[in-house]
Amino acid sequence: MRKKEDYHLDDPTWCPGCGLYGVFEALKRAAAEEGIEPDETVVVTGIGCHGRMNNYFRAYGFHGLHGRVLPVASGIKLTNPGLRVIGVSGDGDAYSIGQGHFIHSVRRNVGLLYLVTDNRIYALTQGQVSPTTELGFVSVSSPFGSKDYPIDGPTLALAAGGTFIARGFAGEVAHLAGLMKKAFHHGGFALIDVLCPCVTFNKVNTYDWFRTRITVLDDSAGNGPADKLEAWKRLQDKEAFPIGVIYREEKPSFEELVVPDPGRPLAGNDLTPDVSALEKIMENFR
């Protein structure tokens, strides 16, 4: 039986009150309750305050480039589908510089859990607007108010053919841990967009601001709606953020389609050249 302390490698140094504490806590709880093996888990992070997650969460870790979490995570998953691969990004990482990777990883249905910690601001670079910032938001990069309309990650995922689309709130740790546990059982790409307040640079979208707007979806049956139209409607309500599993369906994962033999990971197999197979191919060049 695992305890959540088993996953606690180090004490975080995020700003006191940061939403990322809630995400870290929920991840440890979900991992413990599901008995996840740290040796068989890789956490891939991008650049942003969230990027420290694998300094604190005990597992294998890969901290690469800004916005490139998903191609790295996909390469790991394809190479060894037995690994549990968790990507963690911020809103800038996922929905701005990494947007292309995001929709393509969603459409490929790579078997990853992707946590997008959305604080609606660039915090590590000290307070510029992000792609999820509201129109008119005043920041160091938008002193006269943001002129960009925001985009919504779960809506994009729905349009891109996502198979597990959920939204959580860093202020509702038990609910968020529950979403992660469901995602761990999903065979394809699982997106959890986490409303994740930044207490230092975003004084508008605070815990209280979110708390008065969220509505908890009744997904007690476990799977959320399988109706895309219904999911779409829920995502369009700008005043009431539904939290829970918004859409879910089953589809073969990318690794099931691409890896020739699911029982034999690409990693670690014998690399001695298959001389007869190679010579047979060479016959075509005579």
What is the smallest separation between the CB atom of 163 and another protein, expressed in angstroms?
A: 18
Using the rule CB under 8 A, is 269 a contact of another protein?
yes
Using the rule CB under 8 A, is 5 a contact of another protein?
no
Interaction with another protein in 98-157: which residues (CB under 8 A)? 100-101, 104
Output 179 or 259, the one with its CB closest to another protein: 259
Output 44 or 235, the one with its CB closest to another protein: 44
Using the rule CB under 8 A, is 248 a contact of another protein?
no
Stretch that binds another protein, among 36-44, 162-170, 209-217, 230-238 (CB under 8 A): 36-44
CA distance 24 to 167: 16
Interaction with another protein in 48-107: which residues (CB under 8 A)? 52, 54-55, 58-65, 68, 70-76, 78-80, 82-83, 100-101, 104
- Where do contacts with another protein occur on this chain (CB under 8 A)? 9, 38-42, 44, 52, 54-55, 58-65, 68, 70-76, 78-80, 82-83, 100-101, 104, 258-261, 264-269, 271-275, 277-279, 281-282, 285-286
